[in-house]
Amino acid sequence: MKIIAVLYDDPVNGYPKTYARDGIPKIERYPDGQTVPTPKKIDFKPGQLLGCVSGELGLRKFLEDLGHTLIVTSDKDGANSVFERELPDADIVISQPFWPAYLTKERIAKARKLKLAITAGIGSDHVDLQAAIDRGITVTEITYCNSIGVAEHIVMMILALIRNYIPSYQWVIDQGWNIADCAERSYDLEGMHVGTVAAGHIGLAVLRRLKPFDVKLHYTERHRLPENIEKDLNLTYHPDVESMVRVCDVITINCPLHAETEHMFNDALISKMKRGSYIINTARGKICDREAIVRALESGQLAGYAGDVWFPQPPPKDHPWRTMPHHGMTPHIAGTSLPAQTRYAAGVREILECWFERRPIRDEYLIVDGGKLAGIGAHSYIAGDTTRGSEEATRFNS
Ligand code: NDP
């Protein structure tokens, strides 16, 4: 079989020879009891950089020993990209949300042999799910592999925005001591109302981590959480996002991108938020309307916006989120820490072992299978296409 893995570029100074730490903590289960990936074997050292081109997700030996062909590239956008040229006879595509190989309807039509798309991470919105359903392509992701790390990233970003950390850090670099400049936008999280859109693995982990900050916690969800969790965290449930944003100071977005959540945060919804609210979006860039966010930061309706997800990825050099005021954006990194890479590389290997040996893939990894949404996909996604406009990613290099 021919397998294409689209991975992000190596570090600018080359593939690391040493690491900052000698290992990573050993985790066997996630908080709900689900086991971390359980491939029969791995050919990498936990803690290595695996998500870049030279890291190859640790798959080359495994695949070549079985007689398969592995193509690894970061060149993914545009008709002349290596990805698009290799796609017509590929059987399996592996991609990471951080550097997504957009599988649009047009590309799926060209990929006549494609049977399996693996997301090395969480979030398969870079695949036109409707086209995958229509073509009978199986779509999988490594559920839970990086959810806790993303929750940590969210707590970091909430605090960074509210306490005005990034501009204050900049005063240090600029050799200043400008206390008043730092303090004029600095607040405490204590006492604020914080709400999450979705309380899945990440949303619930954020709520749990924020409880000791003495904040008031809110959530909105399609399926309500069990009563004991609501009580333990003293949660206020909102049947819709509008009623939640009206009372919150901080909103964290933790739902998948699908047809129902695309551009959920538009001018209309943002105008219902309290003036001076903060949005933290580590879910997907397209859940927010790009221009509406910029307008709200410029007008003061939003006091800050942070996150690590953009549309498209990579965003063009002139993407307005790079330069809008009061932002705390990172490139898409929340879910690709070295421990997360260890888990999703192992998860990809587990899925491939199952596929080659015709064993069932875990239900919790399935998004689309057998011509319909399946497994966790049937629970968290709705069918449709959210890849429209992804061709703008070609502008990153121009
Ligand atoms: P989960 O599947 O555990 O949680 C997603 C939750 O979203 C589910 O509980 C689902 O609810 C809920 N949901 C779906 N649609 C809606 C809606 N319209 N309104 C409210 N809630 C909704 O996934 P995770 O928590 O692990 O991840 C969530 C998302 O975060 C991913 O889909 C991905 O886009 C993003 N992510 C980002 C990463 C990063 O590096 N920045 C890394 C990992 C994930 P229900 O089950 O009740 O339908």
Same structural domain, 139 and 217: no
Same structural domain, 86 and 21: yes
Same structural domain, 363 and 381: yes
Same structural domain, 256 and 350: no
Last residue within a domain, chosen from 322, 356, 387:
322
- Residue 327 in domain: no
Residue-wise pLDDT for 191-207, tens only, equals 999 999 999 999 999 99
Same structural domain, 218 and 353: no
Same structural domain, 368 and 385: yes
Same structural domain, 163 and 110: no
For 286-295, what is the mean pLDDT?
98
- Residue 328 in domain: no
334 lines ligand 1 (CB under 6 A): yes
151 alpha carbon – ligand 1 mean position (Å): 12
- Residue 331 in domain: no
- Residue 77 in domain: yes
Question: How many domains does the chain contain in total?
Answer: 2
Dist. CA 293–CA 317, nearest whole Å: 18
Structural domain boundaries enclosing 170 = 147-322
List the structure tokens of 26.
């050993």
148 is an annotated ligand-binding site residue: no
Residue-wise pLDDT for 145-201, tens only, equals 999 999 999 999 999 999 999 999 999 999 999 999 999 999 999 999 999 999 999
List the structure tokens of 306.
């942070």
217 lines ligand 1 (CB under 6 A): no
Residue-wise pLDDT for 62-116, tens only, equals 999 999 999 999 999 999 999 999 999 999 999 999 999 999 999 999 999 999 9
200 lines ligand 1 (CB under 6 A): yes
Ligand 1: which residue has its CA nearest to atom 36? 283
Of 146, 254, 281, 301, which one is the catalytic site residue? 146
List the structure tokens of 111.
């990929």
Last residue within a domain, chosen from 269, 294, 322:
322
147 is an annotated ligand-binding site residue: yes
Dist. CA 366–CA 377, nearest whole Å: 6
Distances (CA, A) of 2 to 87, 351, 367: 9, 16, 22
**398: pLDDT confidence band, cut at 50, 70 and 90?**
confident
The residues near 114 (Cβ < 8 Å, ≥ 6 apart) are: 87, 90, 91, 92, 93, 108, 135, 137
- Residue 330 in domain: no
Atom of ligand 1 nearest to the CA of 333: 40
254 lines ligand 1 (CB under 6 A): yes
Q: Are 71 and 3 in contact (CB under 8 A)?
A: yes
48 catalytic residue (yes or no): no
21 alpha carbon – ligand 1 mean position (Å): 31
80: how many CB neighbours lie within 10 A of its CB? 9
Of 96, 130, 164, 313, which one is the catalytic site residue? 313
Three-state secondary structure of the chain: CEEEEECECCCCCCCCCCCCCCCCCCCCECCCCCECCCCCCCCCCCCCCCCECCCHHHCHHHHHHCCCEEEEECCCCCCCCHHHHHHHHCCEEEEECCECCCECHHHHHHCCCCCEEEECCCCCCCECHHHHHHHCCEEEECCCCCHHHHHHHHHHHHHHHHCCHHHHHHHHHCCCCCHHHHHCCCCCCCCCEEEEECCCHHHHHHHHHHHHHCCEEEEECCCCCCHHHHHHHCEEEECCHHHHHHHCCEEEECCCCCCCCCCCECHHHHHCCCCCEEEEECCCHHHECHHHHHHHHHHCCEEEEEECCCCCCCCCCCCHHHCCCCEEECCCCCCCCHHHHHHHHHHHHHHHHHHHCCCCCCHHHEEEECCEECHHHHHHCCCCCCCCCHHHHHHHHC
Residue-wise pLDDT for 235-285, tens only, equals 999 999 999 999 999 999 999 999 999 999 999 999 999 999 999 999 999
Round the average pLDDT of the chain to a whole number and report it: 97
Last residue within a domain, chosen from 259, 287, 322:
322
313 catalytic residue (yes or no): yes
Same structural domain, 61 and 159: no
pLDDT at 212: 98
- Helices 147-162, 165-173: crossing angle, 10 deg rounding: 70
- Residue 329 in domain: no
For 28-51, what is the mean pLDDT?
97
283 lines ligand 1 (CB under 6 A): yes
Ligand 1: which residue has its CA nearest to atom 9? 200
pLDDT at 187: 98
Of 107, 153, 238, 284, which one is the catalytic site residue? 284
308 lines ligand 1 (CB under 6 A): yes
Look at residue 397 and tell me whether its pLDDT is greater than 90. no
197 lines ligand 1 (CB under 6 A): yes
221 lines ligand 1 (CB under 6 A): yes
130 catalytic residue (yes or no): no
332 catalytic residue (yes or no): yes
Of 107, 332, 343, 362, which one is the catalytic site residue? 332
123 alpha carbon – ligand 1 mean position (Å): 8
The residues near 88 (Cβ < 8 Å, ≥ 6 apart) are: 110, 111, 112, 113
List the structure tokens of 2.
């021919």
Q: Are 158 and 213 in contact (CB under 8 A)?
A: no
Same structural domain, 94 and 227: no
CA angle 348, 354, 358 (to 5 degrees): 145
367 is an annotated ligand-binding site residue: no
Same structural domain, 157 and 104: no
Same structural domain, 300 and 234: yes
The residue to which tokens 């030996």 are assigned: 61
Mutate to test the pocket of ligand 1, among 143, 152, 221 (most ligand atoms within 8 A of CB): 221
Among the listed residues 369, 365, 391, the one whose alpha carbon sits nearest the alpha carbon of residue 123: 365
256 is an annotated ligand-binding site residue: yes
Look at residue 50 and tell me whether its pLDDT is greater than 90. yes
Same structural domain, 266 and 371: no
Q: Are 272 and 244 in contact (CB under 8 A)?
A: no
Mutate to test the pocket of ligand 1, among 255, 269, 333 (most ligand atoms within 8 A of CB): 255
**Cis peptide leading into 11, omega within 30 of 0?**
no
Ligand 1: which residue has its CA nearest to atom 43? 122
The model carries a pTM of: 0.98
**336: pLDDT confidence band, cut at 50, 70 and 90?**
very high
Among the listed residues 332, 194, 321, 331, the one whose alpha carbon sits nearest the alpha carbon of residue 252: 194
107 lines ligand 1 (CB under 6 A): no
Look at residue 53 and tell me whether its pLDDT is greater than 90. yes
- Residue 110 in domain: yes
- CATH number of the structural domain spanning residue 163: 3.40.50.720
254 alpha carbon – ligand 1 mean position (Å): 5
